[in-house]
A = this chain, B = another copy of it.
């Protein structure tokens, strides 16, 4: 049994963490899958998915931490737009966002058991925007029985 749906999420800041658990839970409910898994993938290269705690002050730490490791105004070859070919006229300087996205990963897999997402008490599914604000598309696939 297989259920596929794309969902759109609007992000509000240049770096923003948002909780998308309810959105994914709704898709799993629609799917009718009792036992299996939900695979959530971002179709972008400058945002990421992670499972962690929805706590406002932690969200600020996440932003501070990753923007210190990969500062937006650092020196990156990808940001030398005049040296690249075939780029859109509105191409942003976002190399740091690619690097953070790679560290965090663009997909998450959550087990479905008894028709529900299996998440611990403090776990939420988080979308991490690193190059917003934008509308992002997530592919959600629920596979199982």
Question: A52 an interface residue at 8 Å Cβ cutoff?
Answer: yes
How far is the CB of A39 from the nearest CB of chain B, in Å? 6
Question: A19 an interface residue at 8 Å Cβ cutoff?
Answer: no
Contact-size category for A? 35 or more
- Asked whether A41 lies within 8 Å of B104 as measured between CB atoms, the reply is no
Q: Do A102 and B143 contact each other (CB < 8 Å), given the known contacts A2-B35, A58-B95, A95-B58?
A: no
Measured in the bound complex, the distance between the Cα atoms of B102 and A74 in whole Å is 23
CB contacts under 8 Å to B, within A88-112, are: 95, 98-99, 101-111
Question: A80 an interface residue at 8 Å Cβ cutoff?
Answer: yes
Measured between beta carbons, the chain B residues less than 8 angstroms from A52 are: 45, 98, 101-102, 106
- A: residues with CB less than 8 A from B are 2, 4, 35-37, 39, 41-45, 50-53, 55, 57-58, 60-62, 64-65, 69-70, 76-78, 80, 83-84, 95, 98-99, 101-111, 113, 118-123, 137, 139, 141, 143-145
